[in-house]
Amino acid sequence: MSYRSIFSSAIFAAIASLAGPSLHAQQFAPIMTHALNGGVYWIEGGVGSNSGVVIGKNGVIVIDAKQTPESGKAVMAEIAKLTPKPVTHIIITHSNLDHVDGLPGFPKGLTIIAQENCKEQVEHPRPSPQNIDLAGYIPTKTVAKKESITIDGVRVELFHWAPAHTSGDLIIYLPDQKIAFTGDITVARLPYPLIHLEDQGSSLGWIESMKGIVALNAETYIPGHGGPQTKAELQQRVANTAARRDKIKQLVAQDKSLDEIKKELGEPPAQGQFPSFTEVVYKELTKSKS
């Protein structure tokens, strides 16, 4: 069984340390809405991840719901400033609670789209201090690998290449606007990707997924956290990550310990509550439980 991982936007504000105080003690940035093009916006701030807004002919598509019902309601309030059209669809990039626990801030009865593994993770969540009840917000439509759909006149392409950040990642690509929402496969502040082995994520799958992402005919990439990124930035990121993984693989083949590998790579001994990329790759290659 796979589970959601516990995140908060404040943790990502200091992502290098990957540690912080309790949710209620943290300070969060104000909600801010940024226009892209073709009726597409991205919303930062509040509690949790970035959200996307796509205005169709008669309704609105939301991408990711943030972490609390209050922040979900704040997204709804921002949408009301943009258009009187109702929200009809929510697309979830993956199951981490900072992307889904804001769902109760939205009306019930919406079409909620997610990758099929993400749906399972939402149905069987990891216990969290907030204990948000998502019983009325389980995804109603799932995607296995790739699907092209039109929602309210908006062309949407959905991609899942492989387990990456989690086993249920979903990329949302808007071909007419040339915009992609990537979830936490890309996080602007992290030097290397955050992989959740407890959610069946994979470093090799991350590289495969990133190659798929940069192959899209997109001009703007909106990550799960942080500002827009360019194709060139993501190409450099996947090249750096692949080289890092190859180096770790070489050192594992030399029977180096995790501590020895970290020392050779110049990585601090501890990086907070989440395993570093080096630790994840080491565990994958050695099947270590430590």
Q: For 130-184, what is each residue's pLDDT tens digit?
A: 778 898 999 999 999 999 999 999 999 999 999 999 999 999 999 999 999 999 9
Q: What angle do CA 274, 280, 286 make, to 5 degrees?
A: 140
**9-286 is a CATH 3.60.15.10 domain:** yes
Residue 51: burial class (beta carbons within 10 Å; 0-12, 13-18, 19+): buried
Residues 6+ apart with CB under 8 A from 141: 111, 112, 113, 114
The pLDDT of residue 227 is 95
**Higher-confidence residue: 5 or 255?**
255
Residues 6+ apart with CB under 8 A from 231: 214, 218, 219, 221
Report domain extents, the chain.
9-286
- How many residues does the structure list for the chain? 290
List the strands of the sheet with 154-159, edge to edge. 146-151, 154-159, 171-174, 179-187, 220-225
Percent of the chain with pLDDT over 70: 87
Q: How confident is the model at residue 234 (pLDDT cuts 50, 70, 90)?
A: very high
Average pLDDT over every residue of 222-239: 96
**Average of per-residue pLDDT values in the chain:** 89
Question: Which tokens in the block code for residue 77?
Answer: 């309030």
Compute how many other C-beta atoms are within 10 angstroms of the C-beta atom of residue 104. Answer: 20
Residues 6+ apart with CB under 8 A from 24: none
Question: Which tokens in the block code for residue 11?
Answer: 């943790």
Q: How confident is the model at residue 5 (pLDDT cuts 50, 70, 90)?
A: very low
Average pLDDT over every residue of 210-237: 97
Query: Per the confidence metrics, is the pTM higher than 0.85?
Result: yes
Q: How confident is the model at residue 11 (pLDDT cuts 50, 70, 90)?
A: very low
pLDDT, tens digit, 9 for 90 and up, residues 26-82 = 446 899 999 999 999 999 999 999 999 999 999 999 999 999 999 999 999 999 999
The pLDDT of residue 93 is 98
